[in-house]
Amino acid sequence: MNPTRLAFIRSTLCRHFDKDPNRARPFEGIKIVDVGCGGGILSEPLARMGATVTGVDAVEKNIKIARIHADLDPVTSTIEYYCTTAEKLVEEDRKFDAVIALEVIEHVANPAEFCKSLAALTVPDGATIISTINRSMRSYATAIVAAEYLLHWLPKGTHEWSSFLTPEELVLILQRANITVREMAGFVYSPLTGRWSLSDDIRVNFIVFGTKNCQ
Amino acid sequence: MPLTKHLNVAIIDSNPALGSRPYFNKEDPPDPRVSTVTPATISFFKDVGAWQYIEQHRHAYFDKMQVWDYTGLGYTRYNAQDINKEVLGCVVENKVLHGSLLSCIENTDFQKTIYPSKLSSMTLPPSPSSLGMDSTSSRPPLSSQRHLAKLELSDGNSLYTKLVVGADGGKSRVRELAGFKTTGWNYSQNAIICTVEHTVENGCAWQRFLPAGPIALLPMGDNFSNIVWTMNPKESTNRKLMNEDEFVKDVNNALDYGYGPHPTSSLFGSGEMFSWPRAGVTLSANDCFEVPPKVVKLASERMVFPLSLRHASDYVSKHVVLIGDAAHTVHPLAGQGVNMGFGDAFALSRVIAEGIAVGSDIGEVTVLKKYEAERKPANIMMMGILDGFQKAYSVDFGPLNILRAAALHGAHFISPLKRSIISYASGEQKLPLFT
């Protein structure tokens, strides 16, 4: 799924920051924070695309792995990794041009507060990108039953279906956090080709791109 | 290709032609080492701006092809107009192909370095999981080359790189050093190649299947043609050594009345049986059998090459990818080998550009596997077809001869089938039939 998520991020951020998408490093000069970075699966490609990247994760082990892997390549060794949360970063008064939190919000206790933290980290007219799983019958069947119990793509209990957000809910809580959603897309998986692609089907996995309102 | 302009490329090739500026004396007779490039390859060359250099040197487009065998039972003629195109392909000397690509890269501004040397050894970096993340001792010595592959050259240079592309031919050293397994077999056949001269210009590609293997006559322009004659090893040694006049006589014999009669214009009465509905009939279905132009002189030395089929079971591993003959070697009977190689090269460059667009590490297997997934099935299918032809034509057995003749007839008169065959061989169509 990662290349597909990156394609969406590349397209929306290039358009928003008026960068040429045909360059190999279009994000030069852009400060991005990857909230819930895990092992760096998103941070590293962003760094290769020229961004100044900060990766944060609440789990110390993930940060350790991310640092070791990133240090292998001089291009990615510039990524700053911290074991912390979005809320703590807000307390430190950090600000970024783009705040990206992929597949995180479905795991937090209070999504509305989380969105407020993400908004606080974003500069005015900056970008906020969130991806998550829709709360729908279809997502119950695919993301939980199929992914966790049948195909074993994820450990059982990774996701709690009742904490999934619908796109409408996500747009609303982002609006309340002063972020206006501009674009939304879905990810679909084709078992025939084994590939993910961007689509307007937001019934299961979806991603939103929003901008912080200027006050 | 703006996405890949920043990549730093090293070309390691001990071929002396790479060192000097490509210059060809137009009075030289054509070099017998030629390639028949398909329209698909021609358009790849045009895309990168290299075809213009080829047009400045000797090259020969052809729009007609005739295939028949020694039994005299059938023949087939193809014309580019059958698929509404102007050419079926172009025959170009290999040195002209090299020269044009070299001129093209010299005129493009990206960082490239040519190392006129050979690869002696290659060390691939260990996978990250073996770097011991739970060791409490200090970090391993900081070497910014830890994640790169190291190549040692015969001239003493050491290079570090993210991606090694093995484009070093059928006996690929990269393939050997990286440990790729191959399957394949040697055909008990050699090919003799040489340039010959006629009194008239040859505008058609001819191929006649003889009991020991096919002989092909390919137009090269200026009354010259290239010969690729497949035969068993003993005959190839004899033919290489026999004097020139005897050899020319042999060639004319092989192309004309030797080994068997000419096919008559049709076997089952006139071709009308297959040519309904009239509207879709190809132009060449009405063509009669023709005898190829007579060879009057041998115009180059005779070179002999052994033939084999080889296929690497994988094209890709971390930091290493194989393209062209290093990944697959085929019989020359359909002129497809180098075209498959160019197809590989263009697919790989596109996959690399797509990977860079989403910030991937170009040495990663996940990126490179996309190239393999695209090219391996196409290459295997073509190899299967070519090998099938080679085996079908290596048996001289009455009923099989008639079956082959019927197939030739079908390929000649059944127009939709003929169009499919031409499109596939020209590189336009991905599958041989029914798309």
Confidence band of B265 (pLDDT split at 50, 70, 90): low
Q: Above 90 in pLDDT, residue B325?
A: yes
pLDDT at B139 over 80: no
Side chain identity at B264, as an amino acid letter? T
Query: What pLDDT is recorded for position B426?
Result: 82
Written as six digits, the tokens of B320 are: 């290493």
Q: Which pLDDT belongs to residue B186?
A: 87
Question: What length does chain A have?
Answer: 215
8 Å CB contact of B361 and A47: no
Q: Is B364 left (phi over 0), alpha (psi -120 to 50) or beta?
A: beta
Q: What value does the CA radius of gyration of chain A take, rounded to a whole number of Å?
A: 17
Contacts of B271 (CB under 8 A, 6+ apart): B285, B286, B412, B413
Q: Above 60 in pLDDT, residue B135?
A: no
Q: What is the pLDDT of residues B351-406, one digit of tens each?
A: 999 999 999 988 888 899 999 999 999 898 888 888 888 888 877 777 888 888 88
* Cβ proximity of B166 and B11 under 8 Å: no
**The pLDDT of residue B21 is above 80:** no
The string of DSSP codes covering A17-54 is TT--TTSS-TTTT-EEEEET-TTTTTHHHHHHTT-EEE
pLDDT, one tens digit for every residue, chain A (215 residues): 899 999 999 999 999 999 998 888 999 999 999 999 999 999 999 999 999 999 999 999 999 999 999 998 889 999 999 999 999 999 999 999 999 999 999 999 999 999 999 999 999 999 999 999 999 988 888 888 888 888 888 888 888 888 899 999 999 999 999 999 999 999 998 888 888 999 999 999 999 999 999 87
| Peptide bond preceding B292 in cis form (omega within 30 of 0) | no
Please give the residue of chain A at the shortest CA–CA distance from B129. A69
The answer to whether A61 contacts chain B (CB < 8 Å) is no
**CA torsion, ordered B324, B327, B333, B339, to nearest 10 deg:** -20
Q: What is the pLDDT of residue A8?
A: 95
pTM score: 0.86
pLDDT at B57: 87
* B82 band by pLDDT with thresholds 50, 70 and 90: confident
- Lowest model confidence (mean pLDDT) among A67-71, A175-179, B253-257, B269-273: B269-273
Q: Say whether the ipTM exceeds 0.90.
A: no
Query: Is the minimum CB–CB distance between A74 and chain B shorter than 8 Å?
Result: yes
- Contact criterion met (CB < 8 Å) for B2 and A24: yes
Q: Say how many CB pairs under 8 Å bridge A and B.
A: 46
Q: Which has more pLDDT, B188 or B258?
A: B188
Ranked by mean pLDDT, which of A77-81, B92-96, B117-121 comes out on top? A77-81
pLDDT at A153: 84
| pLDDT band at B23; cut points 50, 70, 90 | low
Q: Pairing mode, if any, of strands B213-221 and B204-210?
A: antiparallel
Query: How far apart, in whole angstroms, are the C-alpha atoms of residue A188 and residue A133?
Result: 12
Across the interface, whether the CB atoms of A24 and B3 are under 8 A apart is answered yes
Interface with B, mutate which of A27, A71, A79 (most B CBs under 10 A): A71
Q: Is A67 an interface residue toward B (CB < 8 Å)?
A: no
User: What average pLDDT does the structure give for chain B?
Assistant: 84
pLDDT recorded at residue B145 = 66
CA distance B421 to B189: 26
What pLDDT was estimated at residue B382?
86
Which of A114, A145, A111, A134 has its CA nearest to residue A186? A134
In this prediction, residue B14 carries a pLDDT of 85
Q: Are strands B89-93 and A205-212 parallel, antiparallel or unpaired?
A: unpaired
Q: For residue A148, give the 3-state DSSP assignment.
A: helix
Question: What is the pLDDT at residue B269?
Answer: 45
What distance in Å separates the CA atoms of residue B265 and residue B273, rounded to the nearest whole number? 14
